[in-house]
Amino acid sequence: MPIYEYRCPDCADFDLVFEMRSVPDLVSCPTCACTARRRMSAPGISTASSAAFRLIDDTKRSAHEPAVVNSPAPGRRSGPAQKYTLNPLHKKLPRP
Ligand SMILES: [Zn+2]
């Protein structure tokens, strides 16, 4: 069920859950029992896929719980260091 925001003129905003067919425009504030009006707000709709959410969750988790690495990342070769650039024009640049 969707969450609706209400604003009490005397207190802070609060959220309530109603069925879409029975959402009232006015409710009583749970804190002061004053009449609160429904607020219009942006819906919490996301177009991100589950893969995007998984990536976000993994990124957040890795900030606190870094994964243990047992081998180099795939695609990297062990051995001599690779050149930074393969562009032959970069060889003409002045060296420090
Ligand atoms: Zn109130």
pLDDT at 77: 66
pLDDT at 41: 81
Give the angle 21-23-24 at the CA atoms, nearest 5°.
Answer: 135
Q: Domains of the chain: which residue ranges?
A: 3-38
Distance 42 CA to ligand 1 centre (A): 22
Per-block average pLDDT, block size 10, for the chain (96 residues)?
A: 90 91 93 93 74 85 80 71 80 87
pLDDT at 38: 95
Distance 21 CA to ligand 1 centre (A): 25
Distance 91 CA to ligand 1 centre (A): 71
Distance 24 CA to ligand 1 centre (A): 16
Phi, psi of 55 (to 5 degrees): -65, -45
Return d(Cα 86, Cα 88) in angstroms, integer: 6
